[in-house]
């Protein structure tokens, strides 16, 4: 008898399926599916954070056709992708707008999804598409660094610095015989990079800087940090927030320092006057897990190990920072006993000194002029020197499809297809420098 009823049930199921297939779909709409499985009212647009997920469902009419298969698609997979294991579940990958389409029985419904980037936090993973998340392993994206500094002047939290996932061992700052670059900035490693690049044959003579600058991950300009930028990285690895001055009492902020007034060493249990709750070693361990969790190289602060900065102390000496204690030192530039770690700025500083700023101190032709600005269809770029490449990026670091026609020291960009908003134009010149300027599209 049980077999008989099973056969009847199977026959009814097949009949229902055939019924559904026979139905002509008259309407398809998209609704948001809750965790409990209920489906909300039809929607046509919405927002989702980078790294966020949401599940959608097709609302089909007539009801008899509801069991027909749904085909989901997304117009731009750079911004969002569907999870193959859960029907209708989508994940935000990068900031931008894309169209989600549900198709049932030849009838389609579209939904406009805007994916927005949350403010960056120290410890976030930075990806090659210019986005960042708290998770470092994300399908469809490649992690290229870890955020260690967020610019407090950007109230939206979209500007900062990242450190590379790897490091080089025992590279010379430079050959002893190399020319003198005058790389003396203590706060801006990009200025030092320009100074070093001015020395003929620098790629072979300045090993540490060349290793950093050779990185191309994410289309960013990687460089050897200035000594002050190493202090920013050290502070982040200690669970502290570096500020130039005026650290707020009762917070984790710490003023910039130049001497040995910070330490990673645990408190001495035999010393009754010492601070037995020194948090720095535990904070360093937590920071380093950001790297080891994804198979990257953690910061090394053991013993007397030091990291090269791009800042010269004297003609034949360069500055380093000991990550065991946070104190700066200077050593002969040809020494090979130190580590090298690269950093990069996001998302605006794709040139060497950032938006609307010259790339090298004192350079009379370093500024980039854009006319008209705002622009509607085309814009003319003037750099004062021969250009080799011009690219246009969104504010989250994604390369746009805008093309440029270069004619010596000027270039014309076709911006007609760009959506209205603010963009970053980067210019590479024949002298090896890179410059940036803001472009507003109307």
- Concatenating the DSSP letter of every residue in 344-362 gives EEESS--SSS-BTS-SSTT
Write the pLDDT tens digit of every residue in 78-106: 899 999 899 999 999 998 999 999 999 99
Q: Count other Cβ atoms within 10 Å, centred on residue 292.
A: 11
What radius of gyration do the chain's Cα atoms show?
27
d(CA 84, CA 90): 9
Structure tokens at 198: 């001015």
Domain ranges of the chain: 2-116, 159-344, 369-441
303: left (phi over 0), alpha (psi -120 to 50) or beta: left
DSSP letter string over 361-402? TT-TT---EEESSSBSSEEEEE-SS-EEEEEEEETTS-B---
Specify the fold of 2-116: Immunoglobulin-like (2.60.40)
The pLDDT of residue 257 is 87
| pTM, to two decimals | 0.73
Predicted confidence band at 281 (pLDDT cuts at 50, 70, 90)? confident
Cα distance between residue 195 and residue 250, in whole Å:
40
The reply to whether domains 2-116 and 369-441 share a CATH topology is yes
Largest CA distance in the chain: 97
Residue 7 has pLDDT above 90, yes or no: no
Q: What class, spelled out in words, does domain 369-441 have in CATH?
A: mainly beta
CA dihedral angle for residue 204, residue 210, residue 211, residue 216, rounded to 10 degrees: -130
pLDDT tens for 44-75 read 999 999 999 999 999 999 999 989 999 999 99
Do 30 and 57 meet the contact criterion of CB atoms below 8 Å apart? yes
The secondary element (H helix, E strand) that includes residue 190 is helix 189-197
Do 146 and 163 touch, CB atoms closer than 8 A? yes
């Amino acid at each position: 008898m049980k077999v008989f009823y099973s056969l009847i049930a199977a026959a009814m199921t097949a009949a229902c399926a055939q019924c559904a297939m026979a139905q002509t779909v008259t309407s398809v709409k998209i609704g948001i599916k809750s965790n409990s499985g209920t489906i909300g009212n039809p929607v046509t647009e919405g927002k989702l954070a980078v790294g966020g997920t949401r599940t959608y469902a097709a609302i089909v009419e007539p009801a008899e056709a509801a069991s027909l298969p749904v085909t989901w698609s997304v117009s731009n997979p750079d911004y969002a992708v569907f999870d193959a294991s859960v029907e209708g579940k989508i994940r935000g990958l990068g900031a931008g707008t894309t169209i989600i389409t549900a198709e049932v029985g030849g009838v389609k419904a579209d939904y406009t999804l805007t994916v927005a980037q949350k403010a960056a936090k120290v410890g976030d993973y930075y990806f090659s598409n210019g986005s960042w998340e708290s998770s470092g392993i994300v399908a469809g994206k490649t992690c290229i660094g870890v955020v260690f500094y967020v610019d407090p002047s950007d109230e939206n939290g979209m500007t900062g610095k990242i450190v590379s996932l790897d490091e080089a061992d025992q590279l010379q700052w430079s050959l002893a015989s190399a020319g003198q670059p005058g790389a003396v900035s203590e706060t801006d490693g990009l200025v030092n990079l320009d100074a070093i690049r001015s020395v003929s044959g620098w790629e072979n003579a300045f090993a540490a800087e060349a290793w950093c600058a050779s990185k191309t991950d994410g289309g960013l300009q990687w460089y050897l940090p200035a000594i002050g930028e190493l202090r920013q990285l050290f502070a982040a690895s200690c669970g502290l927030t570096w500020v130039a001055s005026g650290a707020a009492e009762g917070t984790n902020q710490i003023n910039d320092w130049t001497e040995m007034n910070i330490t990673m060493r645990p408190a001495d249990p035999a010393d009754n006057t010492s601070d037995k709750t020194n948090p720095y070693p535990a904070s360093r361990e937590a920071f380093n897990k950001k790297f080891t969790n994804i198979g990257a190289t953690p910061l090394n602060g053991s013993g007397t190990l030091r990291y090269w900065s791009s800042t010269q102390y004297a003609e034949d000496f360069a500055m380093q920072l000991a990550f065991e204690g946070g104190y700066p030192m200077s050593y002969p530039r040809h020494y090979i006993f130190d580590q090298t770690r690269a950093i990069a700025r996001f998302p605006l500083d794709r040139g060497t000194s950032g938006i609307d700023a010259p790339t090298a101190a004192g350079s009379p032709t370093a500024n980039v002029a854009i006319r008209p600005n705002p622009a509607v269809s085309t814009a003319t770029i003037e750099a004062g020197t021969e250009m080799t490449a011009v690219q246009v990026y969104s504010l989250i670091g994604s390369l746009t499809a805008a093309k440029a026609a270069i004619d010596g020291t000027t270039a014309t960009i076709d911006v007609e297809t760009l959506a209205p908003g603010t963009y970053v134009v980067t210019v590479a010149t024949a002298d090896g420098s890179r410059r940036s300027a803001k472009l507003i599209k109307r």
